[in-house]
Amino acid sequence: MSWFSDWKEKRAKKKAEKAATAAAAPAKKEAAASSAPAAAKGAKAPEFIADSPIDGYVPGLGAPPGGKINIAIYWAAACGGCDVSLLDTDEKVLNIGDMSNILMWPIATDGKEKDIEALEDGEITVAMINGAIRNSENEHMARLLRKKSQILVSYGACACLGGTPALANLVPGGVNEIKDYVYGVTPTSANFIADGGRKLEDVMPRPEYNAPEGTLTLPVLYDTVKTVDQVVDVDYYIPGCPPTQKSIAALLDALVGFVYRGEALPPKGTTVGVIPKSLCEECHRHKENRRITEVFEPHEVLNIDHDLCLLDQGILCLGAGTIAGCGAPCTKADQPCRGCYGPPKPVSEQGSSIFTAIASLFPIEANDAKMNEDDMDDIMSVIKDPLGYFYAFSMSKSLIKRAVNEGGQ
């Protein structure tokens, strides 16, 4: 653990140095703090330790020359996995602490909405939003953080593509149908209503409630779940469910370069951590003729061949319609790619692009010319739930974003 004692030493030295300069020039620091990133330009680079033991982690980084930057992390309609991926950064989280004041991070710190509201516009350097926009509160917070931040990052599959929450768009009756089911039909709710002699209205949440103490409000759910960039302007995207440590390190490296050395940030709109080709190129499996006649769930295939393309084994893998960069952890673990990184750049619709490719892998039959379209329906019906499967992550970004009702409303 020599790097650790090294790190402690450096850290102590840095601290002493800092105290000395702070005492010598308190006025200078104050002036710099108000425009941290700009002031960082031309500032002396800190000493980077060449053999940093953890990829992306810089021991003894210390505060940026222009003072700490402000960051905020918010969860919208999220599962918490994205926040955990940020907590999972191990030592790198210390660099985040060196570099910044975390003004808001619901999973880990105490910052509240009113604290953000009290800030000047642009006072936050980087805000990261994970999760989809599922209700009015999500949208309000996204707009608020956009207003207060210089850089806004859409973090994770839900924020970038809609992700799992956006599958709610496929409920034909929208929010009302979902609420009726959750509060009226699920056994716990139904029993609760029946046991207490209650009515559905008694348990149904209402967006406004007049209590003796005043009016209480709840966020309003949306019928159509949206991505972050469908409600506010986004600067960077980090895909993944959740994003990989490699992507986080890439963002952190860019930020460290920016705040400590005044280096240019990647161009606006950059998707961090991707490689502009399809996942199949990153996947270690070799491809044979890839003809599908039967479809299996991974658990139905005993002895999955670890080196053969999963499509060759009848397991529907979305790699061909997914952008590379994650390192294909899923196919390494004998699981198909579910497409969490989103489509490769030129592709606008991930779902249709992948099911088009997969439909083409069904072989032509000897008597194809004599078959009719009903026979085709039979052949293709081995694929269950194509909409849910091929659009599992990208519903908010698809061409048709929600269920439709024939014959008017």
Interaction of residue 387 with other proteins, rule CB under 8 A: yes
What distance in Å separates the CA atoms of residue 87 and residue 217, rounded to the nearest whole number? 31
Q: Between 200 and 304, whose beta carbon lies closer to ligand SF4?
A: 304
Residues 261-300 that bind ligand SF4 (CB under 6 A): 279-280, 283, 285, 287
Q: Between 65 and 156, whose beta carbon lies closer to ligand SF4?
A: 156
Residues 145-174 that bind ligand SF4 (CB under 6 A): 156-158, 163-164
What distance in Å separates the CA atoms of residue 343 and residue 350, rounded to the nearest whole number? 5
Minimum separation from the CB atom of position 323 to ligand SF4 (A): 8
| Cβ-contact 290, 267 below 8 angstroms | no
Interaction of residue 390 with ligand SF4, rule CB under 6 A: no
Phi, psi of 329 (to 5 degrees): -65, -30
Helix axes 245-261, 92-99, angle to 10 degrees: 30
| Cβ-contact 217, 196 below 8 angstroms | no
Interaction of residue 293 with other proteins, rule CB under 8 A: no
Read off the DSSP letter of residue 85.
Answer: H
Selection from other proteins, ligand SF4, none that 265 binds (CB < 5 to 8 A by kind) is none
264: phi > 0 → left, psi -120 to 50 → alpha, else beta; which?
beta
Give how many residues touch ligand SF4 by CB under 6 A.
35
Please select the residue that binds other proteins; options are 34, 35, 186, 356, rule is CB under 8 A.
356
Strand ranges for 141-207 from DSSP E? 149-155
Write each residue from 182 to 201 as x if it is in contact with other proteins (CB under 8 A), else as -, in one continuous string: --------------------
Q: Between 155 and 390, whose beta carbon lies closer to other proteins?
A: 390
Give me 135's structure tokens: 């209700």
Minimum separation from the CB atom of position 326 to ligand SF4 (A): 3
Selection from other proteins, ligand SF4, none that 279 binds (CB < 5 to 8 A by kind) is ligand SF4
| Cβ-contact 340, 279 below 8 angstroms | no
Q: Between 189 and 398, whose beta carbon lies closer to other proteins?
A: 398
Read off the DSSP letter of residue 304.
Answer: -
Please select the residue that binds ligand SF4; options are 39, 126, 142, 328, rule is CB under 6 A.
328
| Cβ-contact 96, 252 below 8 angstroms | yes
Helix axes 26-33, 2-24, angle to 10 degrees: 100
Interaction of residue 333 with other proteins, rule CB under 8 A: no
Answer positive or negative: Cα dihedral of 152, 133, 243, 390: negative
For 73, 76, 77, the CA distances from 156, given in Å and listed in that order, are 12, 11, 11
Please select the residue that binds ligand SF4; options are 32, 58, 142, 337, rule is CB under 6 A.
337
Selection from ligand SF4, other proteins, none that 329 binds (CB < 5 to 8 A by kind) is ligand SF4
Burial of 113 (0-12, 13-18, 19+ CB in 10 A): middle
Per CB under 6 A, residues contacting ligand SF4 are 78-79, 81-82, 130-131, 156-158, 163-164, 241-242, 279-280, 283, 285, 287, 309-311, 317, 319-320, 322, 326, 328-331, 337-341
Per CB under 8 A, residues contacting other proteins are 170, 172, 174, 222-224, 348-349, 351-353, 355-356, 358-360, 362, 364, 368-371, 373, 376-377, 379-381, 383, 385-388, 390, 398-409
